[in-house]
Structure 1
Amino acid sequence: MASLDLVAERADRRAWLGLVIVLGPVALVAMDGSVLYLAMPSITSAITPSTDQALWILDIYGFAVSSLLIAFGNLGDRYGRLKFLLTGAIVFGLGSVGAAFSPNPEALIACRALMGLGGATLLPSGLAIISNLFPNPRQRSQAIGIFAATFAAGFAVGPVLGGLLLSRFDWGSVFLINIPVVVLFLAFAPVLLKEVRTTNPGRVDALSVVLSAVGILLAVYAVKTAAAEGFSATQAATGLLGLAILVWFVRRQLTLEYPLLDLRLFKDHVFTVAILTGLLSLVAWAAAGYLTGVYLQSVLGYSVLAAALLVLPGAAVLTAACIGAPGVVERIGMRSALIASHFFMGAGLLILLLTTTEHGVAAFIASSVVTGVGYGFSFSLVADTAVAAVPAERAGSAASLAEMSNELGNALGISLLGSLAALLFRLTGPGAAGTLDETLDISGIASGTIAEAKDAFVTGMHGAVGVASLLCLGLGFLALRWVPKERKAEAEEAAVTP
């Protein structure tokens, strides 16, 4: 009997070690969605991307991950999750090296896309392997909670890590930091992890993969270029083509036996609210993170290290809120916690409207702390809420959609709200250049022009975060109507049922 207990103890220890080794790539995927927020001024000075290129550098990674996440999840089911994890880690590492030594914006965009290609294999495969490592429901719940907390912490720590690295090293260091983690993962993963595959995963529709990726990219490209350069017939045609392809994609999903995006799940209002929460929380977080990073450095004049230190309070609160969310749910229920996340995010974003070209540090810290509570709750609760809202046999699709909503939100936040900020800058600024950083880099520029450019940037930032706040508050009120109170009682009953 003692021997059996010892075997069980060793199996548990190996499972926890396997969890630790999977968390490395998970943290990297999350960090690389945000690590450039404080690094963009340095990158702009070094390789001088245009306004459009700067936005692509930031968000092509998120678009690559989000557009391929579900497809790669299905392929992992068919061909083996561990194989996909190892292959994805190699591709991610190669992309990181290429990005670190990119000589121009085009090369950096291509390498960021390659990193996104690798990252799209890591999240769904990592979550599936973790679930397989812990057959005990209680331990599995703990492990998935740690997975979610690591993902949230990676998003929060990314800007801080980027700032610390840039205070001592060249901008390429924000990518080279990935390499040691990738090497350790490739060394230990084959030893600690077992292969996981599904016996009947269904067929992956290649056309759906192409339609979703191309449709998203064309539609967002039209929005981004219109904000940076003004509207034109070509941009309108590109946007309409992208929307038409997305409509084709949606209609195709309704006819497939194994759809890439199971639209039937959205018939459940609770599931819809959960997915929209995952999407909008990252839209708001990404846009505010990028714009405030530029604001602290280029408007208020803080060094990259000082800006990184100012991010720490919000990052700490976000991580603590994510870890503490299950305890909050036990006290007030899933519904109340989910609704609270929207109002914390919306209220915190409104605080950023108090920032000016002269003062804004106190408002920034207060905003990051208040929104950090909302972001932490959201990151922790979205997947659980989505999965609990659908039948057990569709839990995998629900989890993949929850992950995709986060990644797509991260990309859309910078693309759409970043484009709105760029449009307002172009309309109200001095017209010397397309962005604030490009304006500041002009030699011999007049002080009046600099002041006008800073005012225009703050105007653009206020417009973007104002829209983000309204979206979060609006979804909060929608959740009040759509998420029934009975869900809390059902969750408590399920928790005590053997």
Structure 2
Amino acid sequence: MADSQEDGAPLRAWLGLAVLVLPVLMIAMDTSVLYLGMPSVGAALHPSATTEIWILDIFGFSLAALLVTMGNIGDRIGRRKMLLAGAAVFGSASIVAAFAPNVGVLIAARALLGIGSAMLLPASLALIANLFTAARARSAAVGVWTAFFAGGAAAGSVIGGTLLYEFWWGSLFLINVPAVLVVLAVAPFLVPEYREPEAGPLDIVSVGLFAAAVLPLVFALKRAAATGVDLATTATAVVGVGMLVWFVRRQRELPTPLLDLSLFRRRSFTTAIAAASVGALSWAGMSYLTCAYRQSVLGWNVLGAALLGIPMATAVFVAAVAGVRVGSRWGVTRTILLALGSAAVGNLLLILTGVGTGYIWYLTGSTIAGLGYGVLFTFASDAAVSSVPMDEAGAAAGISETSLELGSGLGISLLGSLSTAIFRSGGDFAPTLAETLTDANGDTAIIDSARSAFITGMHIAILAAVAALVLTAVVIWMINRRGTR
């Protein structure tokens, strides 16, 4: 089939991309869709406070720990094979989760969903390099892929709220099944197979070390966000960092490492990954804090609060699609600086929000920030498939997704903990604003004081996120100015 003059790729490639983005959309939604469903899950399965946390967190644990490994394995055994296997695992786990008879089965199903997601994400992103040989078309395809991933994560709460309004909590998982069936039926005909031609042996010790590094770090981040920094959190983080150092040293010694550290010598790759990671940090922190703001301060119900997130989700989607085109006109470094600036300005506008008012400023600020985030996430994904050799695209995609996952966890942990500390210092309050409002029993003085303290904490945390975005932009600008790109 002849190439389209505008797209620079055959129609079959774009149809293949449509197949690849289906599981990406489902995975992105699964990262946030269950937050709204936990009350329904609790009413049906009666989890304890500890097991409720595991239901929410086990997905992210297994996903983050296996992304690099699964990307590397996919390069070796075949990316399409890994995609199809991941779809089968993801779909099966979705069915088990939807009809889970007890908490243990649901936790196990959520873990399998994370494993299936880790198989799907690097394979689907890396296969874009095989579908699109023209650089411009490949970058545009990466933008579409990123748009569905980032937009799906932002829209997950909206879709979840709608499903919960009409159906039971299991519907949050069953919506994955039709997409999985399409992938399994159509991908063998539209998506090419690719495997690394001269792959070395897979180092099992490195696989274990990477999991032993990432799992404690993710656990420490989530624990710090929930309970603050204590001895257990610090000790877990130290173990994770120690394992990470051991992992890096081993990669330098192996002839065929699990993670090729030379990828980070590519300045375009490292710059994009670093900028997107800081973007993910600020995005996750902003989303976490403003979710509580919309419900507990402004007083919107769950579905109404979710609908307020539509403008940002739309902005992320549009910017992700258009980001590569902007980059081709402005250059990679300038575009990344522009995106960091947009994210910083959007966050800064959130300082104008207040108690009982300010949703217009929330809509304006989150939309402007969303434009920056969409571009940042696109460049991280594009660097993973365009800045490295084709046989390393799967591993690079794993690095890209892992950095975003860790950046998001760090954002919720650091910014959430900072906001909570300031909130708690404002009075004799419960650990969260929602609990404080419940315990207040209608006492308007306590309610007003708690909301004001929360707003103060949120503003300071957002200012910290703005500082991180600006500092990252300054460092990238200085490196570029010295001509060390």
Structure 2 match to 1:27 = 25
Structure 2 match to 1:470 = 467
| Residue 375 of structure 1: how far off its partner (Å) | 0.7
CA distance in 2, matches of 1:154, 1:118: 17
DSSP 3-state at the match of 2:341: helix
Structure 2 match to 1:249 = 247
From 253, 273, 276, the counterpart of 1:275: 273
Structure 1 match to 2:335 = 337
Deviations 1:53-91 (A, max 9, x none): 666555543342232112111111222222221221122
**Which residues of 2 match residues 137-216 of structure 1 at below 5 A?**
137=135, 139-216=137-214
Deviations 1:160-197 (A, max 9, x none): 32233234334443332212212222232334334332
Residues 193 and 75 of structure 1, relative CA distance in 2, 3 Å threshold:
same
Contact 1:152–1:376 (Cα < 8 Å) also in 2: yes
- Structure 2 unaligned blocks of 5 or more: 4-8
Deviations 1:111-149 (A, max 9, x none): 333211111111221133333234455544443333233
From 455, 463, 480, the counterpart of 1:483: 480
* Structure 1 residue 127 corresponds to structure 2 residue 99: no
Contact 1:356–1:458 (Cα < 8 Å) also in 2: yes
AA paired with 2:323? Answer: A
Structure 1 match to 2:310 = 312
Residues 112 and 446 of structure 1, relative CA distance in 2, 3 Å threshold:
farther
How large is the Cα RMSD of the aligned pairs? Answer: 3.4
Residues 140 and 221 of structure 1, relative CA distance in 2, 3 Å threshold:
closer
- Structure 1 unaligned blocks of 5 or more: 489-498
* Structure 1 residue 323 corresponds to structure 2 residue 321: yes
DSSP 3-state at the match of 2:32: coil
Q: Percent identity?
A: 45
CA distance in 1, matches of 2:115, 2:71: 12
Residues 352 and 113 of structure 1, relative CA distance in 2, 3 Å threshold:
farther
From 219, 222, 225, the counterpart of 2:223: 225
Residues 431 and 73 of structure 1, relative CA distance in 2, 3 Å threshold:
same
AA paired with 1:302? Answer: W
| Residue 395 of structure 1: how far off its partner (Å) | 5.5
| Residue 389 of structure 1: how far off its partner (Å) | 5.4
Structure 1 match to 2:59 = 61
Deviations 1:9-68 (A, max 9, x none): xx9444433322222112112222233465567667877878876665555433422321
Residues 392 and 21 of structure 1, relative CA distance in 2, 3 Å threshold:
closer
Aligned residues: 480
Deviations 1:222-247 (A, max 9, x none): 45435544554444333322222222
Range with greater deviation from structure 2 (196-205 or 133-142): 133-142
Residues 329 and 194 of structure 1, relative CA distance in 2, 3 Å threshold:
closer
Structure 2 match to 1:112 = 110
AA paired with 1:481? Answer: M
CA distance in 2, matches of 1:300, 1:24: 35
Structure 2 match to 1:265 = 263
Residues 374 and 235 of structure 1, relative CA distance in 2, 3 Å threshold:
closer
| Residue 326 of structure 1: how far off its partner (Å) | 2.7
Structure 1 match to 2:401 = 403
Deviations 1:260-319 (A, max 9, x none): 333333344443221111211112212222322232123222122222221121222221
From 82, 85, 88, the counterpart of 1:84: 82
Contact 2:129–2:393 (Cα < 8 Å) also in 1: no
CA distance in 2, matches of 1:49, 1:254: 44
AA paired with 1:148? Answer: T
Deviations 1:338-375 (A, max 9, x none): 11111111221122222233113112101111101101
Range with greater deviation from structure 2 (317-326 or 380-389): 380-389
AA paired with 1:318? Answer: V
* TM-score under structure 1 length normalisation: 0.83
DSSP 3-state at the match of 1:483: helix
CA distance in 1, matches of 2:397, 2:115: 19
Contact 1:355–1:364 (Cα < 8 Å) also in 2: yes
DSSP 3-state at the match of 1:411: helix
DSSP 3-state at the match of 1:254: helix
Structure 2 match to 1:370 = 368
Contact 2:218–2:409 (Cα < 8 Å) also in 1: no
* TM-score under structure 2 length normalisation: 0.86
Contact 2:75–2:395 (Cα < 8 Å) also in 1: no
AA paired with 1:163? Answer: G
From 411, 414, 430, the counterpart of 1:413: 411
| Residue 108 of structure 1: how far off its partner (Å) | 4.9
Residues 480 and 37 of structure 1, relative CA distance in 2, 3 Å threshold:
farther
Residues 273 and 443 of structure 1, relative CA distance in 2, 3 Å threshold:
same
Residues 58 and 342 of structure 1, relative CA distance in 2, 3 Å threshold:
farther
Range with greater deviation from structure 2 (349-358 or 35-44): 35-44
CA distance in 1, matches of 2:226, 2:214: 18
Contact 1:284–1:468 (Cα < 8 Å) also in 2: yes
CA distance in 1, matches of 2:138, 2:365: 34
